[in-house]
Structure 1
């Protein structure tokens, strides 16, 4: 079962990794995680759960802006088809036809919010309530209509549309089904209200609903006999799909009847396919495009022109490049050895020298709010090791996602040699890396990404829990397991869960299991007329596109 699950996840990864090899940046790998069921929590963890949970209400409000113009955004990958529920493509979900759809929940992406964050708010709902640890009640807006496009024809969206969408998404074997793995049953109470019964308490359930792949689609777009998507793309979102052309891109226009006030602020949004870094930069400098999620290689090209475009940064935790150890193999079964390795490195210098200051050091766990991250001083204190190093030879498996990953690995190798170690680099292409590291678990020390995930529990249970499907660290750690189980049972007690996540981070660093140190910040460049652009692309979020406007 473990090998089978790992194989499925690796296959989802490998289908996307090809895009990296032909030009996509590591930060834009279009992957959706496939996650196992959470492990049954211990009796001790369950005893510490607080039963009372306060329901939360969210009422979206539209920001200010000006209406008009066309926004042109660069994408690097094409889409194979338009069925959002049978595809893991980031382009389709968040930078293409998929932004025509609404979701029940979404991530916040306002200018005043620090990142990384996975804070959720209602989109189609007016409020939600946790009736007990296994049951949610959702109340829907009464002013949402499907776009007035055949064959849907502008009818009102109701709870049965959500039942249909989530049921189809959950089809066994489909790539986005694992997002709803905790759902036992959906019960429609009325057109504007429904209940969700869970198989087990799930602290990240709202994140699954907010994920950019959990879209609400109309049944009219699906063939009744075959269950296949027959089109066209008709949503209830801010954008109306107009066209998608292979090798060209996707065009959408403003939905004038969108239920959130004046949103969106531009008349058209175009996602234009340009997969060559030189061409991307040339198009930006010629004002032929407005927004570019620029790769590290593209940034170097842009700097060679001494250009200074508007630059925006978005942070994501739980992604990027990690240092991690296989504690099931020598020499890293020894905590002393692991601590000495990390004490020999200076990840903050790497951030400045290699990542141009556009990364951050953390234990690597996805967090709901930026305030949940450990600060530098505490990490440095835990990493400090006064014991002199013991000479050892070992292999560092390095994921080859381009020159900057190799530069990082070479710098680590140099620093370790300077302190008496003898590390040997094994440079592995992305496809072999997924198989060798994630599926087979064959490494001593790694410098590369962890498996994709969709939130804190999607990282903690499969990767860090001793009984997890992945357990890449190869460890058995009862204390860590209990902490992971406890935070999972704290549900929506934000303060209690934050404290537990802090304890988990401290434990990870204290035990010198792993460290996240690079490629966890997306760099966006825009032309001078773009305003209101505050991207939070975590979990394939896309609502921020509707809040952008053109000044001039």
Structure 2
């Protein structure tokens, strides 16, 4: 379950962020504005790029693995980084290997120096290496002892906390790593990471002070729940701190665009026009939300606002009459039957929105059966494009646009749920990866978002403005 290279699910990746480090990371803290992703060193104390296809990283000295078998606190070296990247690229079943597909090889120049040699220019390398949902540095000994990193005993890293206990379907306990390489950190000695799938139970526990963070991803509270409890919280938990910021989670309807009826762009456009996005914002997000295109609005430096989509903007409006006209023109005047693969992710918000999607589709004649699956079964099938008709759910909350674009649209990629194979899209995906000039890269990504808005390979739905909440003093 816990192998970060065999799972894309945030339920696996987030626990690994407690225990593992990366070469570089995104800056965080009270001085960092939400939705900004500057990069700083983590295991690397410095790096350089002598040319477009070479990166050299200098590692911190004296970084030690957790004092647990099979590594027993030995020093981290350049060979560990080399091994990690090689495993990331070659281990069978890694749905995120595309992130580093431009890497030709990694060399351990000496004990504390790592060199990346690229097959071609790749402007997103540092962002990928900083990604909290991907390239955690792992120990060869753990893989050799356990066969892979699925078992909790293999969850051994160099991060600020160590896994003490794992109780299936109950939770995980992390304790402070006394040998963490950043002096004075972490501040928190113990973390209880609990499983609670019942929303009423979670809300009651939060009101009672059992939880220090909001119970939804990422430490947030659904706004529909927030409006119910915020006044009570002022009385019961006056030291609670809150922050609001746009979501970087992009939720969408995927379709089998490689076969009828969704192979026809008019059908896909009809599905988009059927969805009442503003109604969803008003109902599910209490009026506080954003419209999303292919890059979620939370990535403010890269997302193209709908108002700048030109003629493509019309596909984000709610127009059931035009949707029915498009269906008729595509040969479906009476609509058709479909299915929608779905899992709740433990979120009442996602469940509510799934019902709104079914209702909206029915208004244009698409009678849709909800195919609800257990989380693990959903990830193993529908998340990776193995479904009959449509799938509804969120994409991994990445912090760069390439991961919302390349993995979901490049032919043959595991996370290309809609089976997109469009030469125009493929060309733009490759071109933007090779451009280091940020302004020029942004132009290509904006053009790509306009094109994707016309094609509607994925029907993107709105996202909320997060209400993130934590107990004052709960900092790492």
Structure 1 unaligned runs (5+)? 1-79, 533-545, 547-552
Retained in 2: the 8 A contact 1:462–1:469?
A: yes
Show the 5 A alignment for 1:29-44.
none
The alignment status of 1:160 with 2:82, answered yes or no, reads: no
Partner of 1:384: 314
User: What is the root-mean-square deviation in Å for CA atoms of aligned residues?
Assistant: 4.3
Retained in 2: the 8 A contact 1:252–1:269?
A: yes
Show the 5 A alignment for 1:440-519.
442-443=388-389, 446=390, 448-449=392-393, 456-465=401-410, 477-490=422-435, 492-518=436-462
Q: Which has the higher contact order (CA 8 A, sep 6+)?
A: 1
Cα distance change of structure 1 residues 384 and 367 upon mapping to structure 2, 3 Å threshold: closer
Partner of 1:292: 214
1:481 alignment partner, SS class: helix
Q: Given the alignment, which residue of 117, 123, 128 partners 1:197?
A: 117
Cα distance change of structure 1 residues 520 and 488 upon mapping to structure 2, 3 Å threshold: farther
Q: What's the offset of the Cα at 1:125? A: 0.8
Of 129-138 and 340-349, more deviation after overlay is shown by: 340-349
Partner of 2:136: 215
1:349 alignment partner, SS class: helix
Q: In 2, distance between residues paired with 1:496 and 1:483? A: 12
Retained in 1: the 8 A contact 2:409–2:416?
A: yes
Cα distance change of structure 1 residues 151 and 399 upon mapping to structure 2, 3 Å threshold: closer
Partner of 1:307: 232
Show the 5 A alignment for 1:420-435.
421-430=364-373, 431=377, 435=381
1:449 alignment partner, SS class: strand
Q: Given the alignment, which residue of 297, 311, 319 partners 2:250?
A: 319
Q: In 2, distance between residues paired with 1:100 and 1:468? A: 28
Partner of 1:277: 199
Q: In 1, distance between residues paired with 2:413 and 2:152? A: 39
1:288 alignment partner, SS class: coil
Cα distance change of structure 1 residues 205 and 353 upon mapping to structure 2, 3 Å threshold: same
Partner of 1:60: none
Show the 5 A alignment for 1:227-242.
234-242=156-164
Cα distance change of structure 1 residues 199 and 345 upon mapping to structure 2, 3 Å threshold: same
Cα distance change of structure 1 residues 287 and 185 upon mapping to structure 2, 3 Å threshold: same
2:232 alignment partner, SS class: coil
The alignment status of 1:101 with 2:20, answered yes or no, reads: yes
Q: Given the alignment, which residue of 171, 174, 180 partners 1:258?
A: 180
Q: What's the offset of the Cα at 1:494? A: 2.0
Cα distance change of structure 1 residues 367 and 134 upon mapping to structure 2, 3 Å threshold: farther
1:224-277 per-position Cα deviation (integer Å, ceiling 9, x unaligned)? 697888957553222244333445433333334433343222232222333333
Cα distance change of structure 1 residues 325 and 404 upon mapping to structure 2, 3 Å threshold: farther
Partner of 2:236: none
Cα distance change of structure 1 residues 425 and 312 upon mapping to structure 2, 3 Å threshold: farther
TM-score normalised according to structure 2 size: 0.74
Q: Given the alignment, which residue of 240, 257, 260 partners 1:329?
A: 260
1:466-488 per-position Cα deviation (integer Å, ceiling 9, x unaligned)? 67677665666544333222112
The alignment status of 1:350 with 2:280, answered yes or no, reads: yes
Cα distance change of structure 1 residues 205 and 507 upon mapping to structure 2, 3 Å threshold: same
Q: In 2, distance between residues paired with 1:332 and 1:221? A: 45
Partner of 1:121: 40
1:75-105 per-position Cα deviation (integer Å, ceiling 9, x unaligned)? xxxxx5x665666664454236x62221112
Q: In 2, distance between residues paired with 1:173 and 1:344? A: 39
Q: What's the offset of the Cα at 1:432? A: 7.2
Retained in 2: the 8 A contact 1:119–1:368?
A: no
1:99 alignment partner, SS class: helix
Retained in 2: the 8 A contact 1:137–1:195?
A: yes
Q: Given the alignment, which residue of 92, 95, 105 partners 1:173?
A: 92
Retained in 1: the 8 A contact 2:408–2:415?
A: yes
1:294 alignment partner, SS class: coil
Cα distance change of structure 1 residues 143 and 343 upon mapping to structure 2, 3 Å threshold: same
Aligned pair count reads 445
Retained in 2: the 8 A contact 1:135–1:195?
A: yes
Retained in 2: the 8 A contact 1:318–1:364?
A: no
TM-score normalised according to structure 1 size: 0.65
Q: Given the alignment, which residue of 301, 304, 328 partners 1:374?
A: 304
Q: In 1, distance between residues paired with 2:147 and 2:209? A: 45
1:365 alignment partner, SS class: coil
Q: Given the alignment, which residue of 176, 182, 189 partners 1:267?
A: 189
Cα distance change of structure 1 residues 253 and 450 upon mapping to structure 2, 3 Å threshold: closer
1:41-88 per-position Cα deviation (integer Å, ceiling 9, x unaligned)? xxxxxxxxxxxxxxxxxxxxxxxxxxxxxxxxxxxxxxx5x6656666
1:364 alignment partner, SS class: coil
Q: In 2, distance between residues paired with 1:87 and 1:476? A: 24
Partner of 2:237: none
